[in-house]
Amino acid sequence: MLSDMNPENIIGDYKEAVLHLYGDGSRKVFYTDIETPYPDGKLIVSTTDKAGVITHVNQSFIEMSGYTEEELIGTLHSILRHPDMPAVAFKDLWDTVNRGEKWQGFVKNLRKDGGYYWVKATVIPNIRNGQVVGYTSVRRKPSRTKVNECIQLYPTLF
């Protein structure tokens, strides 16, 4: 289960929300209006086990999330869950990868400091010897047009 965010880590004026994470209890989060732009030319990469527990992150993941590698490994991937993201998007993600298929979508992620960043995420199941052993998620820079469409669409999905 994820612990609540610490207000001492938040930079700037913030709002508060309680997220209900599917199967993982609830988490109090603090979030601001400060966006961190996606860095050009980079990919954010992580892997999780079947339960969504992070097993690997790359340097871009660490830099963009604001957490240290030690804080991330062994933690649920939903540590990045932003209150502006509708639960239905993640249900679609899990339903899709559980069928053994790839999922792709635009996601607003929450940083440790309460800020956010948009990504275009692709998640695929890692199949070894015919068995799903975990998931790889790769995020790339999204087009601003697509992000703006999501900013309009996502509030209608709650």
**Nearest CB to other proteins, comparing residues 30 and 38:** 38
Contact with other proteins (CB under 8 A) among 131, 144, 152, 156: 144
**Residue 14, helix vs strand vs coil:** coil
The conformation of residue 7, written as its DSSP 8-state character, comes to: G
Contact with other proteins (CB under 8 A) among 31, 142, 150, 154: 142
**Nearest CB to other proteins, comparing residues 43 and 62:** 43
Secondary element (H or E) of residue 44: strand 44-49
Q: What is the end-to-end Cα distance of the chain in Å, rounded?
A: 23
Per-residue contact flags (x/-) with other proteins for residues 44 to 73, judged by CB under 8 A: -x-x----------x---------------
Q: Does 37 bind other proteins (CB under 8 A)?
A: no
CA-to-CA separations, 90 to 3, 33, 34, 71, in angstroms, rounded: 20, 22, 23, 22
Give the shortest CB-127-to-other proteins separation in angstroms: 9
